[in-house]
Amino acid sequence: MKRLFLVILFTLIPATAFGATIPPHFVLTGSGFGHGVGMSQIGAEGQAMEGQTAQYIVNYWFPGTQVLSVPDTQLIRVNIAHQVSSASIAMASGFTRSNIDLSNNPDGSLNNGGLGDGSSIFKFSIVNKKITAAMYNKGSPTQIFPSQPLWNIYWSGTTAFPSPAGGLTGPKPLPFSVVKVTTSVGSIQLRYGQIQLNAVGGKIEINAVMTIDQYVLGISEMSSSWLPAALQAQAIASRTYGLAHLTLRSACVCNVYNTKYDQAYIGYAKESEPGVGQNWVSAVTSTETDATDAQAIYYLGKPISVYFFSSDGGQTQSSADVWGTAFPYLTNVQDPWSLDIFLNPQYAHWQRVLIQKDVATVFNLPDVVSLTITSRTITNSATVITATSSSGAIAQLSVGDFKTKLKLPASWFEIAPNTF
């Protein structure tokens, strides 16, 4: 019986020529979600629960900075569809009495190229590196427009309609209308500004052009059900991000993307979220000091390089440790709130099981018998992971690559010893 048991055991768990066992998986336990630099959003909510103000919260996470009232009427170009082949734009459901207009003037001015009503649908496609446009109206012939390198769309209820000259920086209009933009990457509803479609590299770049204050209303980086002070701190941080990113990017003819690589921008869906949308609107407007100015985070006369994330392992990271570039206001700050299981039930403590095949693949090794953390930051987060194969080969990955490839929430983790 003993011989039979040993045969089965070695069949289930392979052994190397050197006697090392190849484990079927590795178990990681950790805390936090995100890169850990800047403002902890769980921390901000915890501070709001303790009665702290938005200004206190911002100054805590970005030490040495100032919250100032600055102009927020600058125009920002938000990329809402990157490198698509076609798009359709129409008034959103419930706004069918509004007007919509099409223009191909590079300066954005109207030329009444095709005036539509609430039932009009504009469709665009790329042909020979230019954009063709067509207007569809039920019961009427389709109107086709000559191909152009760019198109502008305006709609009633925005400051860009009927004439955008000087109008994009005006107050938020009421009553308002909303358009819906649909592409292969999804759809988005927009309330403010105007839309511009540009032909770039044989594809279409679609940008929503609006003021900074209008942009912040569509940012979806924090739950609108959270406390006012936390939401206000997020609004100040998100506004600062926009102000610091007004350089035009040629790849998209935009200033920012609407994804996590900049800030998650979802347009009208944020302020119209059932039950809680007005909480975010109130947080944004309460951080505006007048019609043309609002609060933002500054350091030495400039908007800071602002970062925020969900939660950490009890202390924030310095930007130097994570990205190699030091900023005096992106340093290590204590964050006990992230480790509070009631505030952060999903990520105060987490566990992940990594399958042997997946681990070996990311390290480009035939197998991995040993997985260790060989470098850490002052906050005890991992920076370098080392894997050893059954043949003795060694490979290393930065924690950034390791996290991304194996879909780990954060870099604060431990690797449990193998017990096989």
- The DSSP string of 145-166 is EEEESEEEEEETTSTTSS--TT
Q: Report the sign of the C-alpha dihedral through residues 98, 102, 105, 111, in that order.
A: negative
Q: How far apart are the first and last CA of the chain?
A: 21
CA 157 to chain centre: 28
How many Å is the maximal CA-CA distance in the chain? Answer: 91
pLDDT tens series, the chain, 420 aa: 334 333 333 333 454 545 578 999 999 999 999 999 999 999 999 999 999 999 999 999 999 999 999 999 999 999 999 999 999 999 888 876 677 888 877 665 555 545 677 788 999 999 999 999 999 988 889 989 889 999 999 888 787 665 554 455 555 554 688 999 999 999 999 999 999 999 999 999 999 999 999 999 999 999 999 999 999 999 999 999 999 999 999 999 999 999 988 999 999 999 999 999 999 999 999 999 999 999 999 999 999 999 999 999 999 999 999 999 999 999 999 999 999 999 999 999 999 999 999 999 999 999 999 999 999 999 999 999 999 999 999 999 999 999 999 999 999 999 998 755
Distance, in Å, from the CA atom of 248 to the CA atom of 78, rounded to the nearest integer, reads 10
CB 334 within 8 A of CB 47: no
Cis peptide before 366 (omega within 30 of 0): no
Distance CA 402, CA 414 (A): 13
What is the amino acid identity at position 86?
A: S
Instruction: Work out the number of other CB atoms within 10 angstroms of the CB of residue 221.
Output: 18
How far is it, in rounded angstroms, from Cα 122 to Cα 38? Answer: 42
CA–CA distance, 408 with 410 (Å, rounded to integer):
6
pLDDT at position 397, please? 98
Residue 402 phi, psi dihedral angles, 5° rounding: -60, -50
Give pTM, 2 decimals: 0.90
From the list 356, 363, 239, the residue with the least C-alpha distance to 304 is 239
DSSP state letters, 299-323: ETTEE----EESB-SSBPBPHHHHH
**The pLDDT of residue 342:** 98
Please spell the DSSP secondary structure of 171-189, one letter per residue.
Answer: PPPSS---EEEEETTEEEE
Is the CB of residue 97 less than 8 Å from the CB of residue 170? no
Which tokens belong to 229? 């002070």
Beta carbons of 28 and 354 less than 8 angstroms apart: yes
Q: What is the pLDDT of residue 9?
A: 33
